[in-house]
Amino acid sequence: MVHAVSSVLTGEEGSSIYLLHAKYTNLVRVNLVLLKAFLEDKKRRGLMITIDRPHQYLSHLMQLHGVDQTNLVFVDAISLHSSDTKGGEVAPEFQMGPFHIETLPDFLMKHGDGGSSFQIDMSTIDFVVIDNVSTLLTYNSMESIKRFFQRYIEVLKGVKSRGIQTALVMDRDQHTELYEYIYGLSRKSIELGQDMLVKGVRVMGVQVPLPLKSVLDAPASVGGGADGLPILERK
Amino acid sequence: MANVAFPRIESGIPGLDEMIEGGFPFPSVILVAGSAGSGKTTFAQKFLFAGADKGEQGLFFSTLSEPAQWMLRYAAQFDFVKPEYYGKEVIYCDLGNLLRKCTAEELLAYIDQKVAEVMPQRIVIDPITVVGSMMKDDYRIFAFDLTTRLKNWQATTMLTGEVHPGEMYPAEMSYAVDGVILLMLSDEGDARRKYIEVLKMRGTNHLTGKQSVDITKKDGVIVLKARF
């Protein structure tokens, strides 16, 4: 499954948004697959913004499932409000988060100037994943979220010419308005079935043939293997 | 701020979802409390197997009430229990030996690790109350930390709780969880009748009051009005 998802994250020139539709019960799994695809399959450097749970959970999952985190930076927007005692590496906290999300893009840029306690150099970032974008609705109005995306896109345009790929996973059926808004911003949308296989790909709203058809049609296999995370693959 | 409905997952218990606006919140932690023989373990098993039928991963932690070996032997009588799911869609983990010697933090770390390995969408801990009686550390703090972690792992967890005579539900755990469901055996003349009551379900306009239930080979625990 990692290769299948990786094959649709083609990384066109310039910054772009990929929107993935998956059932809400699979969001964590899909995020894990995305991270593996970007970090290992494509050897990119990335930023993970956590809103739904403190970053230690994803970090733990990555460690357990053998996903190298060396080239991943976390920004945690929820820890301050989570009262969670789970241990792990400390990550920079977005102090305003998860509220006032429209201020996050400038927070990211401000912390690349060397003048604060931590640094995120956005010019070295190839991808961004948010866990998960639907949760923003719990803490922000739809208008705030739109302002966030508008500012986020402006910021990304100014960062680097190679571009930053932003991958967002959400359940279209749970949050239709937000999905449709992001769909309008995204270059590519990818539909994942309950079985976590890629069911459809649209580029700028137009359905395209699924790439690497033999890979996508191959049944998931039990146990470990080069293709994917053992626990996520099942006959 | 606009109202934001959160996702729900079906309980798998016929007749229950209609009482709780379509299912348990996802993620959440639900306490199912009842006396011996009220059907808690059967309830929990059905919750997991119903999820397995939908392709959802389940993880069952047994504590110190009944070893998995025997629990599964009795469970095999139910039609909804499909042995092909064992070890795959439904994974069993026995905490009994660990509980004899660990601290609260060690137990949390073990549960954390197991959940991270399996990545379940549905979790059962059966029963949770025995953990409290063995805990050297503060149980209330443990209950808080456990429920926080379980929800952050993005699963709906069912904790079963044994109640003692005169007790309605295990108090310390009831504050930490998102939902409390009571399974009751009522002595009525010559018979003991079974009932279910949703006492608490956060974020849900749930039905209140006792509803009759039965336990059948086909479906396990069912809310009787579901038959009509």
DSSP conformation letters of B157-182 = EEEEEE--TT-SS-HHHHHHSSEEEE
Q: In chain B, what are the helix, strand and coil shares in percent, each to the nearest 5? A: 35, 30, 40
Residue of A nearest to B110 (CA): A86
In a 10 Å sphere around its CB, with 0-12 CB exposed, 13-18 middle and 19+ buried, how is residue B228 labelled?
exposed
| pLDDT tens track for B88-113 | 999 999 888 888 888 888 999 999 99
Residue A117 has a pLDDT of: 56
Q: What pLDDT was estimated at residue A217?
A: 34
Token pair of B82 as six digits: 């499909």
Residues 162-221 of A with CB under 8 A from B: 171, 174-175, 194-195
Helix or strand or coil: residue A135? helix
Cα(A52)–Cα(A98) distance, integer angstroms: 9
Q: Is the pLDDT of residue B10 over 90?
A: yes
Q: To which H or E segment does residue A180 belong?
A: helix A176-185
Binned at pLDDT 50, 70 and 90, residue B224 comes out as very high
Distance CA B38, CA B216 (A): 13
The answer to whether A140 contacts chain B (CB < 8 Å) is yes
Tell me whether strands B28-34 and B24-25 are parallel, antiparallel or unpaired: unpaired
Q: Determine the Cα–Cα distance for residues A129 and A118; give it in Å rounded to an integer.
A: 19
Question: Of A169-173, A218-222, B103-107, B190-194, which range is least confident?
Answer: A218-222
Q: B185 forms bridges with which residues in the sheet? A: B194
What's the 3-state SS for A104-117? HHHHHHHCCCCCCC
The predicted pLDDT at position A109 comes to 83
Residues of A (76-105) whose Cβ lies below 8 Å from B: 82-86
Confidence (pLDDT) at B107? 92
Bigger pLDDT: B22 or A112? B22
Instruction: Please state, in angstroms and rounded to a whole number, the distance separating the CA atoms of residues B194 and B186.
Output: 6
B residues 209-228 closer than 8 Å to A (CB): none
Please count the residues of chain A: 235
| A64-76 pLDDT, tens digit each | 999 999 999 999 9
Neighbours of A112 (CB within 10 A): 17
| Of residues A83 and A38, more confidently modeled | A38
The tokens 């994803």 sit on which residue?
A: A58
pLDDT band at B24 (very low <50, low <70, confident <90, very high): very high
- Look at B152 and A140 and tell me if their CB atoms are within 8 Å: no
pLDDT in tens, A195-233: 777 888 888 777 877 754 333 333 333 233 333 444 444
As a whole-number percent, the residues of chain B with pLDDT over 70 amount to: 96
Residue B181 backbone dihedrals phi, psi, to 5 degrees: -120, 130
Q: Are A20 and A192 spatial neighbours (Cβ–Cβ below 8 Å)?
A: yes
Rg from Cα positions in chain A: 17
Question: Can you say whether residue A21 is alpha, beta or left, with left for phi > 0 and alpha for psi between -120 and 50 degrees?
Answer: beta
End-to-end CA, chain A: 12
pLDDT band of B226, cuts 50, 70, 90: low
| Interface predicted TM-score (ipTM) | 0.75
Dihedral of CA atoms A101, A141, B179, B100 in degrees, nearest 10, equals 0
Residues of A in contact with B116 (CB under 8 A): 57, 60-61, 64
Contact A141 B2 (CB under 8 A): yes
Least confidently predicted of A10-19, B28-37, B78-87: A10-19
Nearest to B26 among A25, A60, A232 (CB): A25
Interface check for A137 against chain B (CB to CB < 8 A): the answer is yes
Identify the residue with better confidence: A144 or A90: A144
Residue contact A232–B121, C-beta within 8 A: no
A187 within 8 A of A204, measured Cβ to Cβ: yes
Query: Where residue A122 falls among pLDDT bands split at 50, 70, 90?
Result: confident
The residue ranking higher by pLDDT, A105 or A86, is: A105
Overall average pLDDT of the A113-119 stretch? 53
3-state secondary structure A49-106: EECCCCHHHHHHHHHHCCCCCCCEEEEECCHHHCCCCCCCCCCCECCCCCCCHHHHHH
Testing the interface with B: which of A25, A60, A175 to mutate, by most B Cβ within 10 A? A25
B88 interfacial to chain A (CB closer than 8 Å)? yes
Given a contact cutoff of 8 angstroms between Cβ atoms, the answer to whether A168 and A17 are in contact is yes
Q: How confident is the model at residue B73 (pLDDT cuts 50, 70, 90)?
A: confident
User: Nearest CA of chain A to the CA of B164: how many Å?
Assistant: 31
- DSSP state at residue B217: T
Q: How many CB pairs under 8 A join A and B?
A: 63
